[in-house]
Structure 1
Amino acid sequence: MKRNIFITGASSGIGKAAAHVFGKNGDNLILCARRKEKLNEIEKDIKKKYGVEVFTYKLDVSVYEDVVSIVKKIVEDVGHIDILINNAGLALGMEKFQEYNVSDMEIMLNTNVKGLLYVTREIIPNMILRNSGHIINIGSTAGLYSYGNGAVYCATKAAVRFLSDGIRIDVIDKNIKVTTVQPGIVETDFSAVRFHGDKVRADNVYKGIKALDPEDIADTILYVANQPEHVQISDITIMATKQATGFNIHRE
């Protein structure tokens, strides 16, 4: 039976890779991101390759009114959501806390924490009514191991982990699973966004180490989602072989 998979931040990186692995798995897709033109390209590609249904919506998860409106539209168009993958998130800047740009701080909090809260809060009542569902939140090793010049980003990802745990407790009497997937270093446009388009600085993040690919994380998400009904993977951490904890990385 085909499932309906809702992925936020699906226009690039881990979100895009997840869309492809679930499409290949035969699941229908609901893809949201701020860049609708990118979603349209992904929709066309996935339909051609896998022949599944794909619905795309422009959405900024940090705007609550838009989340309410889009979730309502999704329910009208698709009917229900079997799996929610809260992938939308970002890091901006990398400075000492006392020197950090406040706007960058607010954007991270609004997207990484409030966005996850808004989307999950609007979708979970339908899962409770159906007594079925799976919420997969994309955290980070930054939520486990804080590092210098990244206090706010680390705090947002720690929030993802504890929100997941708290939600899991609150739905313990339902057939709803809650999982936190915590990747380490993954080579995407993450660092380019963090450094406001500074490609040289972004490339240096991955210099001397074979980082994870978005597909590595997507395959893990699919594994988590394909467990039997009685099996719930509460959290899973994935790091590159030459990464130990957080920014503890061996570079050649």
Structure 2
Amino acid sequence: MQKKRVLITGATSGIGKATAELLARDGFPLLLMGRRVHLLRDLVHKLVSENTVDVQAWSVDVRDREALEKNISQNQHLLKDLGVIVNNAGLARGVTSFQEGELSDWDDVIATNVTGVLNVTRLFLPFLLEQKQGYIVNIGSVAGRWVYPGGTIYNASKFALRAINDGLRMDLLGKNIRVTNIEPGMVNTEFSLVRLGDEKKAESVYEGMTPLQANDIAETISWCLQRPPHVNIQELVIYPTAQASPYHVFRE
């Protein structure tokens, strides 16, 4: 597709950062969003120094609708060439049973994984519609297909994302806007550290096996974006070779 500006949420680490780095090398202008100002600043500096593309960044939380609206209002000129939305920001909190779950953790998960995606997609979609073409890539999870113990609320958030994907495709039919849901299995990012809150526990998640890397998913996103305009990759489930399901992982 023509290289329009790509918006990436959760761009300061993991899949978001890897996607920003790869797409910058591919020649896509970028609009990066993240909450950690210093990491965002460092990433922009790196991308601008290594590539010849325009890279803009907003330090904003996808859960904060007012902040998003304010940034959009003040930066209309940056959005005239927006062609791609990558909804990557997401998280999980804890692995406790439902009856032991923390309500504040649930709020955080739903606000980021569901409301955040809705906020970003609804507020930036008009710019894609104005272009009469576009692409929305949502980073889901195999947790949106198979429920596992200790994951109820995270599972629910990713099941919701699948519904959002399917609904968007139907609502945007005929608008020349493609929608893709990428659902990875185990990926070696900060995800487990955020979820478990302990570095050793996070490392143990990937012990004895080779997980996916953030760049594996970034390459998948790049591949999707560069399919011919008549091709829409609706869903992709991606596991590491050592994982057969959320319940089945081979460890050496």
TM-score, normalized by length of structure 2?
0.97
User: Which residue pairs with 1:131 in the alignment?
Assistant: 132
For residues 214 and 206 of structure 1, what CA distance do their matches in structure 2 show? 14
For residues 247 and 69 of structure 1, what CA distance do their matches in structure 2 show? 43
Give, in angstroms, the shift of residue 78 of structure 1: 4.2
Q: Secondary structure, in 3 states, of the residue corresponding to 2:73?
A: helix
CA RMSD of aligned residues (A): 1.1
Q: Which amino acid aligns with 1:62?
A: R
- 1:251 to 2:251 alignment: yes
For residues 107 and 224 of structure 1, what CA distance do their matches in structure 2 show? 30
Alignment coverage as a number of residue pairs: 251
Give, in angstroms, the shift of residue 37 of structure 1: 1.2
Superposition map of 1:47-196 within 5 A: 47-196=48-197
For residues 60 and 232 of structure 2, what CA distance do their matches in structure 1 show? 29
Q: Secondary structure, in 3 states, of the residue corresponding to 1:31?
A: strand
Give 5+ residue unaligned stretches, structure 1: none
Q: Secondary structure, in 3 states, of the residue corresponding to 1:6?
A: strand
1:163-213 deviation line (CA, Å, top 9, x unaligned): 0110110000110000001111000111111112x1111111011110000
For residues 246 and 81 of structure 1, what CA distance do their matches in structure 2 show? 35
For residues 78 and 157 of structure 1, what CA distance do their matches in structure 2 show? 28
In the alignment, is the contact (CA less than 8 A) between 2:83 and 2:131 conserved in 1? no
Deviates more, 1:72-81 or 1:204-213: 72-81
Give 5+ residue unaligned stretches, structure 2: none
Q: Which amino acid aligns with 2:187?
A: V
For residues 75 and 14 of structure 2, what CA distance do their matches in structure 1 show? 23
Aligned identity (percent) is 39
For residues 58 and 137 of structure 2, what CA distance do their matches in structure 1 show? 19
Q: Which amino acid aligns with 1:174?
A: K
TM-score, normalized by length of structure 1?
0.97
